[in-house]
Amino acid sequence: MADVARLAGVAISTVSRALANPGRVNEKTRTKINAAARQLGYTPNAMARGLRIGKSNIIMIILPGSLYYGVSQIIPQVLQSINKTLIQGGYNLMIANLDRDEASERHILDLAFGGSVRGAIILSSKLPEVDGRSLANSGLPIVSMLLDMSDAGLQSVVTNDREAVRDVTAELVRLGHRRFFYLAGPEGNYHDVERYGGVLEALDAAGLPRQAVRRSGGRLDYQHGFDIGVQAADDFTKLAEKPTAVIATSDDMAISFISRIKRVGLRIPDDLSVVSFDGSPVCEFSAPPLSTIEQPVEEMGRAAVELLLDAIGRAHNPATLRTVIRSRLILRESIAVAKT
Residue 135 is inside which H or E element, if any?
none
Which residues of the chain are modeled with pLDDT < 50?
A: 47, 51-54
The DSSP code sequence of 239-299 is: -SS--SEEEESSHHHHHHHHHHHGGGT--TTTT-EEEEEE--GGGGGSSSPPEEEE--HHH
Nearest to 63 by CA among 95, 85, 27, 102: 95
- 8 Å CB contact between 137 and 76: no
Give dist(CA 318, CA 307) in Å, integer.
Answer: 9
Q: Which residues lie below 8 Å from residue 276, measured CB to CB, with a gap of 6+?
A: 247, 248, 249, 250, 251, 253, 254, 255, 283, 290, 291, 292, 293
The DSSP code sequence of 183-231 is: EE-STT-HHHHHHHHHHHHHHHHTT--GGGEEEEE--TT--SHHHHHHH
Q: How many CB atoms lie within 10 A of CB 135?
A: 23
pLDDT for the residue numbered 51 = 47
76 cis-preceded (ω within 30 degrees of 0): no
Give dist(CA 269, CA 57) in Å, integer.
Answer: 51
269 cis-preceded (ω within 30 degrees of 0): yes
Nearest to 142 by CA among 304, 332, 325: 304
pLDDT for the residue numbered 222 = 55
Domains 55-159+297-327 and 161-295 share a fold: yes
pLDDT for the residue numbered 13 = 87
State how far the alpha carbon of 189 is from the alpha carbons of 155, 215, 267, in Å: 19, 15, 31
The residue extents of the domains of the chain are 2-44, 55-159+297-327, 161-295
The predicted model scores a pTM of: 0.80
Residue range 55-159+297-327 forms a domain whose CATH class is: alpha beta
DSSP 101: S
Q: Which residues lie below 8 Å from residue 135, measured CB to CB, with a gap of 6+?
A: 62, 108, 109, 112, 120, 122, 127, 128, 129, 142
- Determine the distance from the C-alpha atom of residue 31 to the mean position of all C-alpha atoms in its chain, rounded to a whole number: 33
Give dist(CA 254, CA 180) in Å, integer.
Answer: 14
DSSP 71: S
- 8 Å CB contact between 180 and 212: yes
State the amino acid at position 2 in one-letter form: A
pLDDT for the residue numbered 223 = 54
Domain 161-295 has CATH 3.40.50.10680: no
